[in-house]
Amino acid sequence: MEPVTDADSRAWWQEGVLGRLADTPSADPKVFLPSLGQGDGGLGTDGVLVRSAGLPTDGRIFDVARDANLRVVIEFSGSDAEDARQAATEARAWLERGAAGIAFDLPPRRPAPRAKLTRLYGAPNERHAQPPDPPEALRRVVAEFEDRVLIARRATDLAGPPPHGPDLVIETVLTRQPWRAATFGQAIETAQAALPVTHWPGYAMGVPKRGPFAVGLSVEDSLACSAALHLTLRGTPCIELGEETGLPANAARRAWYRRLIDLRRREAALNSGDFRRIAQEKSVLGYLREFEAERLVVLLNLGRRSRKAHLPTGFSWTVLLGVGPEEGKRLAGGEISLPGCGVLIARADTPQSRTLGGLGQRRATGR
């Protein structure tokens, strides 16, 4: 796999937003697929991961998806991928019917005890005869088709670089983080540090599992912040759909996600830019997204009380999207008040070539 850089011409799954249906849909594809796509009233995703188990094999789901300008990626359950030959056969059948790719859950790899290595893998001169594992078998099949993607979901905590083979590895580590700004920031930086240049990052996120409800936040409040975090990171977002998030059924939540997705498409810095965390206080998470001459700041207050937040100094900012700050408002760099569960996404009004003043940069970045 060639190194992926932001200057390269990228595949659809690198530039787009994915959704994931945890359960096989029982509704008519003509009903639920348009609600996920980019048409009026849709969520705005480019592709959706759908479980293969129980899904009709007549191919009509792909016909409806094309009409909705949506790609369908077939996700195998654990039992589907246990046998490499079976997985390859099923994957080829789905791709021939029109699937845009194949997804699977990546099992944790635990080192075998030393005494069992020969029994499990054979002697060194016998290992070439061992059948490929499911990820390798799936990779070979997907490579036979043009413009298809192999996606792996890694459900365990980050434990080093992504595996070789899948085009995209979707990490689920953010959903399981404690609801603290510093913890989220550290998890993102750890994920970036572990990412080789040959890989493009991907993150899944649904309803946060640990913390927001203990401090008195509702699902609506926590989703407002977590969606803004998820959809302003570098990489491919994968939104968990269904009863857990209320998406796409909940109209208010769908509208908020759609605004974030549309903003992500308009602003190159959100889709392609570098990520740089900036120091904030207590419950506020802040970072810059920078691409060529464009600089955007994202500030998220994960608490239920108003907090002080710091905009980098040296130029003014225009609010692009916010919960609390009025969109289109001009803000000076320096200290601002961000309401509980507040979101601020703003663009710097000066060229990227102008640098922050020394004292302002140290305050903004913590350096």
Q: pLDDT (tens digit, 9 = 90+) per residue, 60-97?
A: 899 999 988 999 999 987 655 567 888 899 999 999 99
pLDDT at 2 over 90: no
Torsion of CA 172, 176, 178, 182, to 10 degrees: -10
Q: How far apart are CA 223 and CA 100, in angstroms?
A: 29
CA distances (Å), origin 222, targets 49, 149, 210, 213: 24, 31, 11, 8
Q: How far apart are CA 290 and CA 19, in angstroms?
A: 26
Q: How far apart are CA 159 and CA 182, in angstroms?
A: 19
**CA neighbor of 184 nearest in space, from 278, 285, 290:** 285
Q: pLDDT (tens digit, 9 = 90+) per residue, 287-343?
A: 999 999 899 999 999 999 999 999 999 889 999 999 988 899 999 999 999 999 999
Q: What is the mean pLDDT of residues 96-116?
A: 73
Q: How many residues does the chain have?
A: 367
Q: Are 50 and 25 in contact (CB under 8 A)?
A: yes
Regarding beta strands 294-301 and 343-348, do their DSSP bridges make them parallel or antiparallel, or are they unpaired? antiparallel
Among 75-89, 159-173, 198-212, 233-247, which range has the highest average pLDDT? 233-247
Measured from the Cβ of residue 74, the count of other Cβ atoms closer than 10 Å reads 25
How much is the pLDDT for 108? 62
pLDDT at 109 over 60: no
